[in-house]
Amino acid sequence: MKYLSNIKNFKFLTAAVMFLIIVLPVIFVFHFNREFAERKEKIGLIILGDIKTPGWNESHYRGIKAACENFGIELLVRDKVRENIGECPAAIKDLARNGARMIFLASYSYSTEAQDLIKRYPQIAFATNSAEVHARNLTAYFVRMYQARYLAGALAGMKTKSNVIGYVAALPNTEVNRGINAFALGVQKTNPQAKVVVMWTGYWQDEKTEAKHAERLIKEAGADILTYHQDEETTAQVAEKFGVDFIAYNAILNSNSEHYLTSILCRWDLYYSDMIQRYLKGEMNYVKNHWIGIERGAVMLSNFSPAVTPKMIAKVDSLKQELINGKLIFSGKIYDNAGNLRCEEDEAISDDTLLENINWLVRGVEVLE
């Protein structure tokens, strides 16, 4: 008491104490509330190329961006992250540091590379477009792109004159093989005589090789329709140049050419929206694979070229309806190009196999070395 009264500026002391008594709880309450209210979700995207490059990179970026805007989520992007040289794990660590609670690994080999790291971040939900690696917090996601390839194949089968269709493909992995097989099955559906000739470039992005291969497919194999499974559109440009028909992939090309038959498209925004919604609902880590397809409108063909006849369009539409109604492309008797029976008459190839284990090409597909 004596001490208190000895303090000369008692009034200041009182003021200070009152200030603390009033202001501290207010700050505390505001801080506390903000912590609850303003914990904005952050999602990370790691992708191979420049997000401004049309094709795979831009389509994914736009898709995820639209989905994030829809849910009011902050998107963190790490692009031009090359595979297998340690850039991907670095990018994952960086995103984790920046508070990303979900990370999309939007290139095929990322998950293999970051396998260990994924397990070290159990609180982060990872999603990738390959099914090579499994982890509790890793969901393989993809769209049933092969359904669109099947329809594109059916169109190509109807359109080809030379009965040779060229296919520029990156790598012989499950994803690419699945696409080639679905395409070939589509071709065979409308034109059992036609064959698909495949050339491997070895890279997702390699303009020179792609161009060279496309030219060879036209000149050597005699293909009058080209399609491709690459991140960029070089093949389309070569086809255009040589005046052959082509079916583009993952982008609507800025072209009015009659040879530009259609594009195989994917609604990535829809897809990412679906994924993020599942993540927000807390379902992400309970699902091993997540595939959506044509029945949800996730894959489609773009508007057809004027060179495509209404009859052809009607055929494609009817096939599409079959798929929507539940027809399975990989069912019934299927032989590979080595003559092995891959699927029996009353069987269907399971999703698991389609995702992980297609190391063969169907009968009617040739590989040009």
Partner 1 sequence: MNEQGFSLNEKYIRKIILQFATVMFILIFACFSLRTEVRDLLNATLEKMIAKQTSDMSIVAEERFSKELAELRLAAKYLEAHPDSATEENFLSLLKLDNEEISVGLLRLDGRAIHGKIISKWDFLRFPSAYRGNDVVDFCAGKGLLFAVPVMHGGNVKAVIYRLYDENLLPDFFGFAEYNSDAKLLIQERNGQIIIPYKNYGKADRKFFMDDTIRNGFKIIRDKLATNKSVGLYRKAEVGRFFLFATDLPQTNCTLIGYVPWSAVAGDIFRIYTLLLGGGTLMLIFLALVSAYLFVMRTKAEESDALREAKRTADEANKAKSDFLANMSHEIRTPINAIIGMNEMILRESQNPDIISYAQNSAAASETLLSLINDILDFSKIESGKFALLEENYKLDEVIKSLVKMMKPRAAKKSLSFNVKVNPATGNLLFGDSVRIRQIALNILSNAVKYTKVGGVEFGVDSKAISIDKTNLIFTVKDTGIGIRTEDIPKIFNDFERFDAQKNKNIEGTGLGLAITNRLVNLMGGKIEVQSVYGEGSTFIVTIPQKIVGKELIGNFTDETTSVQEKYQPLFIAPDAEILVVDDNEMNLTVAVNLLKATQIKIDTALSGMICLKKLAERHYDLIFMDQMMPSLDGIQTLKIASAMENNLSKDAPIIALTANAISGTREMLIGKGFTDYLSKPIDIKLMEQMLMKYLPSKKILPPPESTSEPEKISEANSDFINVELGLEYSAGMPDMYKELLLMFSNLKAEKQKKLQEAFDAQDWKNYTIYVHALKSTALSIGGEKTSAAAKDLEMAGKILTAKTSSELEKHENAEFIQKNHAATMKLYDKLAEEAKRLADTLG
Residues that bind partner 1 in the complex, under the rule CB under 8 A: 1-2, 4-5, 10, 71, 277, 280-283, 286, 326, 328, 331, 343-344, 346-353, 357
Which residue's CB is nearer to partner 1, number 211 or number 280? 280
Taking the complex as a whole, the smallest distance from the CB of residue 5 to partner 1 amounts, in Å, to 4
Taking the complex as a whole, the smallest distance from the CB of residue 32 to partner 1 amounts, in Å, to 10
Taking the complex as a whole, the smallest distance from the CB of residue 280 to partner 1 amounts, in Å, to 4
Taking the complex as a whole, the smallest distance from the CB of residue 338 to partner 1 amounts, in Å, to 17
H or E element: which one contains 334?
strand 334-335
Taking the complex as a whole, the smallest distance from the CB of residue 329 to partner 1 amounts, in Å, to 11
Distance CA 135, CA 118 (A): 8
H or E element: which one contains 355?
helix 351-356
Taking the complex as a whole, the smallest distance from the CB of residue 77 to partner 1 amounts, in Å, to 21
Which residue's CB is nearer to partner 1, number 281 or number 311? 281
Pairing relation of β-strands 289-292 and 260-266? unpaired
H or E element: which one contains 178?
helix 174-190
Give CA 103 to chain center in angstroms: 14
Which residue's CB is nearer to partner 1, number 23 or number 307? 23
Structure tokens at 180: 């080639």
Distance CA 230, CA 248 (A): 10
Taking the complex as a whole, the smallest distance from the CB of residue 29 to partner 1 amounts, in Å, to 10
Give 129-132's long-range contacts (Cβ < 8 A, gap of 24+). 129/105, 129/175, 130/173, 130/175, 131/174, 131/289, 131/355, 131/356, 132/108, 132/356
Which residue's CB is nearer to partner 1, number 220 or number 344? 344
Helix ranges restricted to H, 129-169: 145-159
Which residue's CB is nearer to partner 1, number 11 or number 97? 11
Which residue's CB is nearer to partner 1, number 4 or number 338? 4
Which residue's CB is nearer to partner 1, number 123 or number 254? 123
Helix ranges restricted to H, 291-345: 310-324
The SS3 call for residue 144 is coil
